[in-house]
Structure 1
Amino acid sequence: MALLVVNRVYNNNTVLVDVDNSDQAIVQGKGVGFQKRHGDDISPTRVERIFYLNTKEAKHRFGTLLKDVPIDITMTSFSIIEMAKQTYHYPVMDYIYVTLTDHIAQTYKHIMAGKYQKSTAPDIRDKYPTEYEIADKAVEMINHDLNVRFPKDAAQAIALHFINAHGSENSEEKEKVEQADFGDNVNKIVKSVFKEYGITRNITNQNYFDRLMIHLQYLVARIQTHEQDKRILNQDIESDFRKLYPKSYKIASEICDKIQRRLDIILNDNELLYFLIHIQRIIQEK
Structure 2
Amino acid sequence: MALLVVNRVYNNNTVLVDVGQKDQAIVQGKGVGFQKRHGDNILPTQVERIFYLNTNEAKQRFGTLLKDVPIDITMTSFAIIEMAKQTFHYPVLDYIYVTLTDHIAQTYKHIMAGKYQRSTVPDISAKYPTEYAIADKAVEMINHDLNVHFPRDAAQPIALHFINANGTENAEETKKIDQTDFGDNVNKIVKNVFREYGITRNITNQNYFDRLMIHLQYLVARLQTDEQDKRVLNQDIESDFQKLYPKSYRIASEICEKIQKRLQIKLNDNELIYFVIHIQRLIQEK
Query: Same fold, TM exceeding 0.5?
Result: yes
Partner in structure 2 of residue 175 of structure 1:
173
CA contact (8 A) 2:245 2:285 kept: no
For 1:13, the aligned partner's letter is: N
State how far apart, in whole Å, the 2-side matches of 1:99 and 1:42 are: 31
State how far apart, in whole Å, the 1-side matches of 2:177 and 2:120 are: 22
For 1:162, the aligned partner's letter is: F
Corresponding position: 1:272 with 2:272 = yes
- Shift in Å at residue 80 of structure 1? 0.6
State how far apart, in whole Å, the 2-side matches of 1:116 and 1:224 are: 16
Query: 5+ residue gaps in structure 2?
Result: none
Partner in structure 2 of residue 130 of structure 1:
130
Cα shift readout 1:232-280 (whole Å, capped 9, x = no counterpart): 5543222222222222111101111222334443322222112111111
CA contact (8 A) 1:32 1:47 kept: yes
State how far apart, in whole Å, the 2-side matches of 1:220 and 1:110 are: 18
Moved more, 249-258 or 276-285: 276-285
CA contact (8 A) 1:122 1:225 kept: no
Partner in structure 2 of residue 109 of structure 1:
109
State how far apart, in whole Å, the 1-side matches of 2:197 and 2:13 are: 45
Identity %: 85
Corresponding position: 1:258 with 2:258 = yes
State how far apart, in whole Å, the 2-side matches of 1:57 and 1:275 are: 25
- Shift in Å at residue 227 of structure 1? 4.9
State how far apart, in whole Å, the 2-side matches of 1:137 and 1:157 are: 13
TM-score of the superposition, structure 2-length normalised?
Answer: 0.92
Partner in structure 2 of residue 73 of structure 1:
73
3-state DSSP of counterpart to 1:67:
helix
Query: 5+ residue gaps in structure 1?
Result: none
Partner in structure 1 of residue 40 of structure 2:
40
Cα shift readout 1:17-58 (whole Å, capped 9, x = no counterpart): 111222111100011111111111111011000001111110
- Shift in Å at residue 224 of structure 1? 4.5
- Shift in Å at residue 231 of structure 1? 4.3
CA contact (8 A) 1:164 1:217 kept: no
CA contact (8 A) 2:172 2:188 kept: no
Q: 1:23 to 1:95 in 2, by over 3 A?
A: same
- Shift in Å at residue 229 of structure 1? 3.8
- Shift in Å at residue 103 of structure 1? 0.7
CA contact (8 A) 2:120 2:224 kept: no
CA contact (8 A) 1:132 1:156 kept: yes
1:230-241 counterparts in 2 under 5 A?
230-241=230-241
State how far apart, in whole Å, the 2-side matches of 1:17 and 1:138 are: 26
For 2:244, the aligned partner's letter is: L
Report the number of matched residues.
284
For 1:179, the aligned partner's letter is: I
State how far apart, in whole Å, the 1-side matches of 2:143 and 2:203 are: 33
For 1:6, the aligned partner's letter is: V
Partner in structure 1 of residue 242 of structure 2:
242
Partner in structure 2 of residue 157 of structure 1:
157
Cα shift readout 1:156-194 (whole Å, capped 9, x = no counterpart): 1111111111110x33x5224212244333223222322
